[in-house]
Each structure stands twice: as C-alpha cells, then as structure tokens.
Structure 1
Amino acid sequence: MAADPLYGWDLTYKTVEKDIKKKSDVLVTFIHWNLTKRGFRTIGIGDERTLTGDEDKSELLPTGWNDNENYTLRYVLDGKLYILHGLNTDGNLIINLMRSEDLQVSNIALKTDDTVKEMSGPISKMIPDHKDLMFNIKRDLVDTITSKPTTSTETQTTRVESNNRMPPDDPLRVPRPQPNVQPDTHPWDMPPSPLRVGRSDLDPFAPGGGGMLFNPFGPDRRMPDDPGMGIPGGLPRGSVPPGARFDPFGPPGVGPRPGRRPPPPDADHLPPPGFNDNMFM
C-alpha cells in the first residue's frame, strides 16, 4: 500500500494547535511540516547565520516561533544552515528560504485568506488546495535551493558531437595532406580550371601558357578564331599571331557585336610603370 502523503501532519498540527493565532500561522506550520518531511530540522528562531555544531535539532517548531508579526526560523539540512523568513504584507504571506553559505534564496507567495479557509479541523477544510500547495512548496521552495544542477546526457552528447564535427568547406582553406595517400600531382598545382589564368606566374615549373595576361583565343576558350574581339570594329586579321599571349583592350562596358558572345572581362593585371615587386621570374 502506498504511503499516505499527509502522514505526520495531524501530529505536527496538534503540537502547535494551542499556539495558532492567525491564518498565516497555519501556513507556516504546514510549510514547516513539509520541510521536516524532506530532512530539515529546526534549531531555533532568529537570523543568526553561523553554526557551532552543538545546536539541538528538532522536528518541532521552537518556542516563540509565532510571537511576532513576521517569522524567522533556522533549519539545518546536510550540515548546512537555512533561514526561513515569513513576511505578512497586504493579506499575502511571502516565504523566503535562504541557504546561509552562499545566500542562495528560494521563495513562494501565498494569499492567506484564499489558501486557509479554517484554522482548525481536518486538512481538507483548513487548506482545501493542500495538494497543490504541497507541490508548489516542493518545487519552488525546496527543490530550487537544494537540488544541484546536473548536465543531461543529451547535452553531453551534443557537446561531443559538436566538438567532433568537421568544419564546413572553405574555398580558401589549403587542403591538408592525407596520411598514406601519395599525391599524383605537383603540390603547387592549382585546381583545374578551364581558363588556368595565372598558373604560369604562380608555378615556375608549370608548362608554358596561361600567364597573368589573359588569352581570349587560347584553346581552352573553345571559341571561334576571332582576332577582332576586344575593341569596337575589331582588328585586322593577322594583327595577333597565332598562339600569342594577348591582353584584350578597349573601353569597358561595350556590348557584344551582333551575333557574337559577350566580350570577356578586361583582365588588365599589368603593374604600373616603375613598379617592381619581383613577381616575375
């Protein structure tokens, strides 16, 4: 048979019934009972934040616990000091539970008249919503301050997968050599390109052709031989020898001639006069 969740309440209330003066006393008694169920033991009243280790621990409310308008009770759990403050204000009872060693605080707020209907009798008449109140005390007042945050397995797994994930492809990243793989090309070879512009200037051991001067008539273009491309009106045939490296010229933004493809971009990369950065070998 399952244990009665209200076991011990009647006994706790009977020990303080003659001291009950107001509805907030009933609430503090109910909260005290919930704390003792979870291992808290009271060591007196006041807000002294030091422990000597010689304090008498008890499940009973200490003498004078409700002598004042507000409440201040001291508890011990697992060798740590907790101080419970109860403040009556505008018909509400605000409860704070503070852990003394690091001043961590949990709290709940209750409307006194709405929560406590009677000051004596069975719990179902005194606090009709006692089940919801027990849940809120456990979740918001006790567990918040006594439970240690733990990292879930899902979070740990996500972190490991994140650390092992390969970085995204970067077109500027230099590929790293793979172990036990013999490259079949020269390490300085550039990625294959239909134009291979600039390869000869970057690799002194590369075959001829394809320097910084763009050749629109090279075999890689696969375009009809048209030495007239480059300026409006074209050039006379024979002006450009076959296979010569040729830099097209002409005003920018000139559209294609009728029936022809758009002209190539002006790849004028020659340095200015007098400039020498030793880029040519």
Structure 2
Amino acid sequence: MTSVDPMFGWDLTFKTVEKDIKRNSDVLVSFIHWNLTKRGFRTIGIGDERTLTGDEEKSELLPAGWNDKENYTLRYVLDGKLFILHGLNTDGNLIVNLMKCEDLAVSNIALKIDDAVKEVKGSIEKMIPNHKDLMFSIRRDLIDTIVGRIMVTTETQTSRTPSSRGLPVDPLRVPSRPLPQPDTPNLWEPPAGVPNIGRSDLDPFAPLGGGMLFNPFGPNRDIENPGLGIPGGLPRGSVPPGARFDPFGPPGGPMPGRRPNAPDADHLPPPGFNGNDMFM
C-alpha cells in the first residue's frame, strides 16, 4: 500500500501558470491557490465583488489576469459560500487575507517573499525550499482558521443536542439539586454556650436591665475567682496581677445581714465644709 504524495497535483497546477510567472510573489500566490483547491475551493474570477449570481463558472485554474496588478484579488467558492483572497505586496512581504463574505470572518498569513521563494522556475524544492512548512502554515493559519470554525461550530451544536436514544447521561452535566435551606435562626438570641450579654442594646423590645456592662452581682459571676472588695467579687481580670489595689470594702464583702460600710473618705474636705465626713 503506497502513501499519497502530499505534493500530488502541484506540478500540473504550476504548468498551467508557468508562462505567467513574473516575480517571486507570483510563485507564492500560485502555491496558495493550489493549497486552496486541494481543500475544495474553486475560483470564479478576479475582483472583490461580494455577491454571487449562481451562474459563476467554477474552476481549479487561476483566472486570466490573476497577476496583472501588483496586488492580488481572487474570488473563490466553497460549499456555496463566497471567499475573497487578497494578496498585498509591501516592503518585501506578501500579506495574504482570506475573507468569508457571509460573516466577514478573516484569516491571514504574512510571508517574507525572498526568504520563501528562491527561484521562479524548476522543481518545488528549488523554488520553495521550505514548502512543507509553508503548506502547514497555509493550512493552519489561512484555511483552517475559517473552514475549521464552521466545523467546530457544527460539532459543538451537535454535542449539545439532548440524546433521545437512552444513552447514559454524564453525571457531571446533571445540575445538582439545591440543598435544603435551614430555618431562619433567631437573630436576637445568642448562640448556645455564649452568655446573653448585651442583648438589651440590640433588641429594642428587650426588658430593662443588662446591656453591654457585665453585672458582677449576676448569676454568671465567677465564683472561683471572686476578687476583692465588692460583694460577690470583682470579675476576672479587673485587677492586674501584682497591681496595688485599694479595696472598696472588707475582703469578701459585708457580713451577712449587714449593710455595706460607707466608703472611707480619707482625703481633706474643702475649706469651710461643715457637713459629714463624706466629700463625695
């Protein structure tokens, strides 16, 4: 079994235009034309007219006058769609654009003419030494960019069509069920294990009392660390370790059944003050 020669058809194509070749860029355009015809494109003449009448004669040959001007403008048809090939000679480069007139999609390729084409006659190896790399670039950047776009779109739409033959469904494509939402918590009540401190400052309907100040006489006082001076003890951390502290009253608070003693005001009263010994 013999493999198909990737250059099959080039010699015949070049023979039909060999007498018209005038410059190196002509060789490149004829080579691009051959690659297009291998993919099913057919020429319908020169120019940039963007409408089809349906009476155009399709051909695998380059039309007459294809290289009469410095730049190139060729019209092609593929699957009933009109394409226009523009070749622009500028500063030793050939910039080629292929436009699909239906949606104005454009692909392009830029070639340095003298680096790509070494001879205007002879075998393909002499004219375009890197013809294999050039074929790959033309197919990838100029043709497949537009023709492949149609194919990918069709395949994508086909793959998204729901199956009606009972084929297995990809579980990754099945939308997950929404998780049940928990009951709305009571935002006024503190979480479990957290003292109910400060609720009256947050809830306008809360009963009086409480607030952000901790009540040292409340049931939540720290019995094991009573502190000094106030009945029931000070809250933990009120007196830093090692600090000098003047107790408010007898250690441990008043005796049961007795009122707390008045504070001991050991400062001097103001001049002329005849009241009791309390300044404040």
State TM-score, norm by structure 1: 0.66
Deviation per CA, 1:225-259: give whole Å up to 9, x if none: 23x6xxxxxxx434xxx59xx9x9xxxxx995334
SS class of match (2:75): strand
Matched AA of 2:190: M
Larger radius of gyration: 2
Asked if the contact 1:194–1:220 (Cα under 8 Å) also holds between the matched residues in 2, the reply is no
SS class of match (2:111): strand
Of 233, 241, 266, 1:258 maps to 241
Query: Alpha-carbon deviation of 1:119?
Result: 1.0
1:237 aligns with 2:230: yes
Task: Mark the CA change 1:202 to 1:255 in structure 2 (over 3 Å): closer, same or farther.
Answer: closer
Task: Mark the CA change 1:18 to 1:221 in structure 2 (over 3 Å): closer, same or farther.
Answer: farther
Asked if the contact 1:188–1:203 (Cα under 8 Å) also holds between the matched residues in 2, the reply is yes
Partner of 2:62: 61
Task: Mark the CA change 1:65 to 1:202 in structure 2 (over 3 Å): closer, same or farther.
Answer: same
1:195 aligns with 2:195: yes
Asked if the contact 1:46–1:73 (Cα under 8 Å) also holds between the matched residues in 2, the reply is yes
Partner of 2:100: 99
Write the mapping of 1:40-189 to structure 2, written as runs, cut at 5 A.
40-148=41-149, 176-177=181-182, 189=189
* Distance in 2, Cα, partners of 1:221 & 1:3: 95
* Distance in 2, Cα, partners of 1:22 & 1:48: 26
Structure 2 gaps of 5+ residues are: 160-169, 244-280
Query: Alpha-carbon deviation of 1:145?
Result: 2.1
Asked if the contact 1:201–1:212 (Cα under 8 Å) also holds between the matched residues in 2, the reply is yes
Matched AA of 2:75: R
* Distance in 1, Cα, partners of 2:190 & 2:132: 75
Matched AA of 1:194: V
Asked if the contact 2:42–2:76 (Cα under 8 Å) also holds between the matched residues in 1, the reply is yes
Task: Mark the CA change 1:213 to 1:27 in structure 2 (over 3 Å): closer, same or farther.
Answer: closer
SS class of match (2:43): strand
* Distance in 1, Cα, partners of 2:187 & 2:34: 78
SS class of match (1:142): helix
Write the mapping of 1:26-45 to structure 2, written as runs, cut at 5 A.
26-45=27-46
State which drifts further: 191-200 or 62-71: 191-200
Task: Mark the CA change 1:166 to 1:127 in structure 2 (over 3 Å): closer, same or farther.
Answer: farther
Query: Alpha-carbon deviation of 1:199?
Result: 4.6
Deviation per CA, 1:73-128: give whole Å up to 9, x if none: 00111211111111112211111111112222111111111111111111111100
Partner of 2:213: 214
* Distance in 1, Cα, partners of 2:238 & 2:43: 93
1:3 aligns with 2:8: no
Query: Alpha-carbon deviation of 1:189?
Result: 4.7
State TM-score, norm by structure 2: 0.66
Query: Alpha-carbon deviation of 1:213?
Result: 4.1
Query: Alpha-carbon deviation of 1:190?
Result: 3.5
What is the root-mean-square deviation in Å for CA atoms of aligned residues? Answer: 4.1
Partner of 1:263: none
State which drifts further: 127-136 or 142-151: 142-151
SS class of match (1:59): coil
Task: Mark the CA change 1:160 to 1:23 in structure 2 (over 3 Å): closer, same or farther.
Answer: same
* Distance in 2, Cα, partners of 1:202 & 1:258: 34
* Distance in 1, Cα, partners of 2:212 & 2:112: 86
Task: Mark the CA change 1:211 to 1:58 in structure 2 (over 3 Å): closer, same or farther.
Answer: farther
SS class of match (2:66): coil
* Distance in 2, Cα, partners of 1:45 & 1:194: 86
Task: Mark the CA change 1:255 to 1:30 in structure 2 (over 3 Å): closer, same or farther.
Answer: farther
Task: Mark the CA change 1:125 to 1:197 in structure 2 (over 3 Å): closer, same or farther.
Answer: same
